Amino acid sequence: MYRRKRILVTGGAGFLGSHLCHRLVDDGAYVLCVDNFFTGAHENVASLVGRPNFELIRHDITFPLYVEVDEIYNFACPASPVHYQWDAVQTVKASVLGAINMLGLAKRTKARILQASTSEVYGNPTVHPQPESYFGSVNPIGPRACYDEGKRCAETLFFDYHRQHETKIRVARIFNTYGPNMSPDDGRVVSNFIVQALNGEPLTIYGDGNQSRSFCYVDDLIEGCIRLMNGPDDLIGPVNIGNPCESTVRELAEMTIALTGSRSVMVKRPLPTDDPIQRCPDISVARAQLDWEPGVRLEDGLQKTIDYFRGVLMSHSRPG
């Protein structure tokens, strides 16, 4: 008998998780979206509620979860520095206890499980661009460590479950991604700059603005993750998923001002501790093994994101 694939998405009401849920529901899977709504928003998945192949469950993955599934995308963890540093201990728990619980679930159900890891495992890199073989340069006791080391430990757990229990793992190292469904108060650079520009407020440049990031549009990222999940059995990763087109923070601010037509100026703010100086993925593995590379240019992705935030800010300003 035909049965839909049952896919669990943890962190499914967040920015990336909600895009993943929409894509998987549209593709015909039965999607269980699990979220504790720490940084996620019900609105991100509201249009899926009521669809016959979508289920929304409020749950914190630092506690065990008993469901029957075929695949797990483990995306639950705050990702913005402002949010993950707000309760650092809970961030470590979300990564480490969350990984243990979800790997335990994968072991019992024999599900394939994909971990949303991060370019932060490379810390402040001394190799540029960063290939998966680079072990990273992370300060284990700084304010970013709860996230960086939490994610590194989660990777360790994934590979140990694979070696010890033959759990079917995939590890995606995600680089800075942006797009609709980011929260206006997310605190990451793209949403901050767009909201500031649309509100006519100064754009806050941390440090001198010469630090770099490589920004990937969300649709490209989701496609990369789905290809990795469905790739050959032996392609367990880690695989870098990101856009190798690098920009400085100042260039991003200038582009945002130009695209919004804003009169905002830029103001300098102190550079946060351990803020990486440069970051750019080497995506040779994803190109060769997944036949994947990003297709959306920064200007085009930013324009779509600006249009989204215009709508959000307008609905916030409407009375009632």
Distance (Å, whole) CA 8 – CA 101: 13
Of ligand UDP, ligand NAD, none, which one does residue 228 interact with (CB within 5 to 8 Å by kind)?
A: none
Residues 64-123 that bind ligand UDP (CB under 6 A): 80-81
Task: Say whether residue 199 binds ligand UDP (CB under 6 A).
Answer: no
Helix (H) or strand (E) holding 265: none
Nearer to ligand UDP, 81 or 224 (CB): 81
CA dihedral 64, 69, 72, 74 (to 10 degrees): -20
116 vs 226, beta carbon nearer ligand NAD: 116
> 287 φ, ψ to 5°?
-60, -50
DSSP classification of residue 274: T
Nearer to ligand UDP, 199 or 204 (CB): 204
- Hey, which residues between 6 and 45 contact ligand NAD (CB under 6 A)? 10-11, 13-17, 35-40
Q: Does 211 bind ligand UDP (CB under 6 A)?
A: yes
Is 275 among the residues that bind ligand UDP (CB under 6 A)?
Answer: yes
Out of 93, 112, 188, 227, the residue judged to bind ligand UDP by CB under 6 A:
188
Contact set for ligand NAD, span 117-136 (CB under 6 A): 118
Among residues 6, 171, 163, 152, the alpha carbon closest in space to that of 72 is found at 6
Radius of gyration over every alpha carbon of the chain, rounded to an integer in angstroms = 19
CA distance 9 to 31: 7
275 binds, among ligand UDP, ligand NAD, none (CB under 5 to 8 A by kind): ligand UDP
**Catalytic site includes residue 147:** yes
192's contact among ligand NAD, ligand UDP, none, with CB below 5 to 8 A by partner kind, is: ligand UDP
Query: Which class for 37: exposed (0-12), middle (13-18), buried (19 or more C-beta within 10 A)?
Result: exposed
Q: Residue count at the site for ligand UDP (CB under 6 A)?
A: 14
Asked if residue 160 lies in contact with residue 104, where contact means CB atoms within 8 angstroms, the answer is no
Please provide the distance, in angstroms rounded to a whole number, between the alpha carbons at the two ends of the chain. 50
- Joined together, the tokens standing for residue 21 give 């849920």
Shortest approach of ligand NAD to residue 286 CB, angstroms?
15
- CA proximity to 122, closest of 152, 142, 96: 152
Residue 2 CB contacts under 8 Å (≥ 6 apart), including other chains: none
Interface residue with ligand NAD among 116, 194, 203, 283 (CB under 6 A) is 116
Beta-bridge partner residues of 114: 73, 170
227: contact with ligand UDP by CB under 6 A: no
264 binds ligand UDP (CB under 6 A): no
Catalytic residue among 84, 147, 178, 217: 147
Residues that bind ligand NAD in the complex, under the rule CB under 6 A: 10-11, 13-17, 35-40, 60-62, 75-79, 94, 98, 116, 118, 174, 176-177
| Interface residue list for ligand UDP (CB under 6 A) | 80-81, 176, 188-189, 192, 204-206, 211, 213, 249, 272, 275
